[in-house]
Structure 1
Amino acid sequence: MKIKSIVVKNYKTLENVPLTFGDTFTSISGRNNAGKTSVIKALQGLLKDKGKNVWWSEREGIEYATAKTQWTQEAMPIELEYILYFSELDDPGMYKFVLKIASIENYEEKSFSLRILVRYTETSDNDATVYFNDAPLERFASKEIHTKITASTLAIFHNSAEVGMSAYLNGGFSRLAQDLMFSSAELNEISAEQDRLKKKIKKLAGKHRAELSGLLGKLEEKYEVELTVFDNYLNGHIPLELNLKDKSVEVSLNEWGTGTQNRTHIMMLILYANKIRLEAGDENRITPIIIIEEPESFLHPSAQAEFGRVIRSLSRDLDIQIIISTHSPYMLCQEFPDSNILLERKTFRNNLRQTEIVPIDTSNWMSPFSQILGLDNASFTPWQTVIGARKNCAIFVEGILDKEYLEFISSLGLSGLTLPEGAEVLAYDGKDALKNSILLKFVIEKFHRVYVTFDLDATSELERPMKVLGLEKDTDYYGIGVNEPGRDCIEGLLPPLIVSSVFGNNHNLVMKAQSQNQADRKSAKNSLKRLMLDEFKKRANWSKSELASFKPLFQAISKAFVAK
Structure 2
Amino acid sequence: MIVGACLAHHKYDPALTVHLRASNLNQSRALFTRLACRTRTISLRITNVAAKNFRTLQDFSIDFNHNYCAISGRNNCGKSSILRIIQHFLVKGSDDPFFMFDEGEIDFASDKTKWVSNNDDGIEVSISIEVLEHEDSEVFFVIKSYIGDKAAGSAYTLKFTHQFIDEATTNLVCQINDKTVADRIGSEILKKIRSTNSIIFHNSVMPGRSFYFGGQRVLEVVEAHFSAEDRSKISSAQTTLQRRIKAATKQHKSEIDKLLGRLKDKYQVELATVDRGKPSSYSLEVKLLDKSVDVPLKDWGAGTQNRTRLLMTLLEAIRKKSHTDDQERLTPVLLVEEPESFLHPSAQSDFGQVLAGLADEHDIQIIATTHSPYLLNMKEPLANTLLDRKTFRGALKETVRVSTDGEKWMLPFSKILGVVPEEFQEWSQIFSAGTGQVVLVEGDIDVEYFAYFKDKHADIYKIGEDVEILPYNGKDALKNTQILKFMIGRMERAFITFDLDAKGEVQKKLEALELVEGRDFCAIGEDSPGGRCIEGLLPKSIKSKVYADNADLVQAMGSVVSKEKNDARNDLKAKLLEATKSSGLLSKDFPHFKKLFDQIHKGLFSVDA
1:43 matched to 2:90? The reply is no
Structure 2 counterpart of 1:299, one-letter code:
L
1:338 and 2:382 matched: yes
Change (3 A) 1:519 1:280: same
- Within the candidate set 114, 125, 130, 1:70 is matched to 114
Is it true that 1:95 corresponds to 2:140 in the alignment? yes
Partner of residue 296, structure 1: 340
Provide the rounded CA distance (Å) in 1 between the counterparts of 2:334 and 2:46: 11
Q: Which runs of 5+ in 2 are unaligned?
A: 1-43, 214-225, 249-282
Quick one: which of 17, 24, 27 aligns to 2:70?
27
- Give SS of 1:10's match: strand
Give me the whole-angstrom Cα distance separating, in 2, the residues matched to 1:60 and 1:143.
17
How far residue 440 of structure 1 moved from its aligned partner, in angstroms, is: 2.6
Shift in Å at residue 323 of structure 1? 0.7
For 2:453 and 2:349, locate their aligned partners in 1 and report how far apart those are by CA, in whole Å: 31
Query: Which amino acid is 1:531 matched to?
Result: E
Alpha-carbon RMSD across the aligned residues, in angstroms, is 4.6
Return closer, same or farther for 1:463/1:60 CA change in 2, 3 Å cut-off.
closer
Which whole-Å CA distance do the structure 1 matches of 2:101 and 2:436 have between them? Answer: 36
2:44 is the alignment partner of 1:7: no
> How far off is 1:264 after superposition?
1.9
Say if 1:391 and 1:424, in contact at 8 Å, map to a contact too.
no
| CA drift at 1:148 | 2.2
The code of the aligned residue for 2:354 comes to: V
Query: CA 1:22/1:53 → structure 2, altered by over 3 Å: closer, same or farther?
Result: farther
Aligned to 1:81: 126
Q: Relative to 1, partners in 2 of residues 1:300 and 1:367: Cα closer, same or farther, differing over 3 Å?
A: same
| Unaligned stretches of 5+ residues in structure 1 | 172-204, 213-225
**Contact 1:94/1:286 (8 A) holds in 2:** no
Judge conservation of contact 1:28–1:324 (CA < 8 Å) in 2.
Answer: yes
Q: How does 1:542-553 map to 2 (within 5 A)?
A: 542-543=587-588, 546-550=589-593, 553=596
CA deviation after TM superposition for structure 1 residue 66, in Å: 1.1
How far apart in 1 are the matches of 2:503 and 2:227? 86
How far, CA to CA, are the matches of 2:320 and 2:546 in structure 1?
63
Q: Is the 8 A contact 2:407 2:428 kept in 1?
A: no
Is residue 2:323 matched to residue 1:312? no
Say whether the 8 Å CA contact 1:206–1:227 is kept in structure 2.
no
Native 8 Å contact 1:163 1:261 kept in 2: no
Query: One-letter code of the match for 1:482?
Result: E
Larger mean CA deviation between 42-51 and 262-271 belongs to 42-51
- How far 1:100 sits from its partner (Å)? 2.2
Residue 146 (structure 1) aligned with residue 190 (structure 2): yes
8 Å contact from structure 2 (residues 202, 335) kept in 1: yes
Question: How many angstroms apart in 2 are the aligned matches of 1:262 and 1:467?
Answer: 27
1:547 aligned partner, one-letter code:
F
Aligned residues: 506
Is contact 1:3-1:21 (8 Å) kept?
A: yes
1:219 — aligned with what? none
- Kindly provide the amino acid, as one letter, of the partner of residue 12 in structure 1: R
Matches within 5 A, 1:455-494: 455-456=499-500, 458=502, 477-484=521-528, 486-494=530-538
Closer/same/farther in 2, CA of residues 242 and 454 from structure 1, 3 Å limit: same
- 2:578 maps to which residue? 531
| Greater Rg by CA | 1
For the 8 Å contact 2:346–2:485, the answer to whether it is kept is no
Alignment partner, residue 251 of structure 2: none
Mapped to 1, the partners of 2:90 and 2:581 lie a distance apart of: 58
User: How far off is 1:61 after superposition?
Assistant: 1.2
* 1:296 Cα deviation from its structure 2 partner: 1.0
Aligned twin of 1:259: 303
Give the Cα–Cα distance (whole angstroms) in 2 for the partners of residues 493 and 34 of structure 1: 53
> Is this contact kept in 1: 2:439–2:468, CA < 8 A?
yes
Q: Residue 404 of structure 2: which of 354, 357, 360 is its match?
A: 360
Matched residue SS, 2:80: helix
Q: Retained in 2: the 8 A contact 1:335–1:388?
A: no
CA contact (8 A) 2:408 2:431 kept: no
Contact 1:159–1:294 (CA under 8 A) maintained in structure 2 = yes
Instruction: Identify if the C-alpha distance between structure 1 residues 132 and 31 changes in structure 2 by more than 3 Å, giving closer, same or farther.
Output: same
Give the TM-score normalised by structure 1.
0.75
SS at match of 2:354: helix
Change in CA separation of 1:274 and 1:498 when aligned onto 2, cut-off 3 Å: same
CA contact (8 A) 2:47 2:129 kept: yes
SS at match of 2:587: coil
**How far 1:160 moved relative to its partner?**
0.6
- In structure 2, the partner of 1:163 is 207
Instruction: Please say if residues 333 and 339 of structure 1, whose CA atoms lie closer than 8 Å, have aligned partners that are also in contact.
Output: yes
Shift of 1:2: 1.0
Letter in 1 for 2:122: P
Q: CA deviation at 1:82?
A: 1.6
Identity %: 34
* Aligned residue identity for 2:323: E
Letter in 2 for 1:67: D
1:243 is matched with which residue: 276, 284, 287? 287
Cα offset, 1:439, TM superposition: 2.1
Q: 1:461 to 1:248 in 2, by over 3 A?
A: closer
Tell me the residue number matched to 1:380.
424
What is the alpha-carbon distance in structure 1 between the residues aligned to residue 91 and residue 68 of structure 2? Answer: 19
Is 1:481–1:487's contact at 8 Å kept on the other side of the alignment? yes
Task: State the AA in 2 paired with 1:131.
Answer: Q
Note closer, same or farther for the CA distance 1:482–1:519 as it changes in structure 2 (3 Å cut).
closer
Corresponding residue number in structure 2 for 1:178? none
Q: Distance in 2 between matches of 1:120 and 1:410?
A: 64
Identify if the C-alpha distance between structure 1 residues 470 and 122 changes in structure 2 by more than 3 Å, giving closer, same or farther.
same
DSSP 3-state at the match of 2:373: coil
Q: Please show how residues 82-481 of structure 1 align to structure 2 within 5 Å.
A: 82-105=127-150, 107-124=151-168, 127-163=171-207, 167=210, 208=229, 240-283=284-327, 286-367=330-411, 369-371=413-415, 374-387=418-431, 395-403=439-447, 405-406=449-450, 418-419=462-463, 425-444=469-488, 446=490, 451-456=495-500, 458=502, 477-481=521-525
Normalised by the length of structure 2, the TM-score is 0.70
349-358 or 487-496, larger mean C-alpha shift: 487-496
Given that 2:173 and 2:180 are in contact with CA atoms closer than 8 Å, whether structure 1 keeps it comes out as: yes
- Per-residue deviation at 1:157? 1.1
For residues 244 and 461 of structure 1, the distance between their equivalents in structure 2, rounded to whole angstroms, comes to 38
Q: Give the aligned partner of residue 260 of structure 2.
A: none
| Secondary structure in 2 matching 1:330 | helix
Deviations 1:319-356 (A, max 9, x none): 11111001112111122222211111111111111111
Q: Which amino acid aligns with 2:178?
A: D
Q: Which moved more, 1:438-447 or 1:23-32?
A: 438-447
Any idea what SS the aligned residue of 2:134 has? coil
CA distance in 1, matches of 2:85, 2:580: 56
Q: Residues 274 and 475 from structure 1, CA distance in 2 versus in 1: closer, same or farther, beyond 3 angstroms?
A: closer
1:295 Cα deviation (Å)? 0.6
Q: Give the drift of 1:524.
A: 5.3
Contact kept, 8 Å, 1:498 with 1:535, in 2: the verdict is no
Question: By how many angstroms is 1:57 displaced?
Answer: 3.9
Instruction: Report the AA paired with residue 343 of structure 2.
Output: L
Distance 1:333 1:520, change over 3 A: same
What's the CA shift for 1:128? 1.6
Asked whether the 8 Å contact 2:49–2:82 carries over to 1, the reply is: no
Q: Which amino acid aligns with 1:83?
A: S
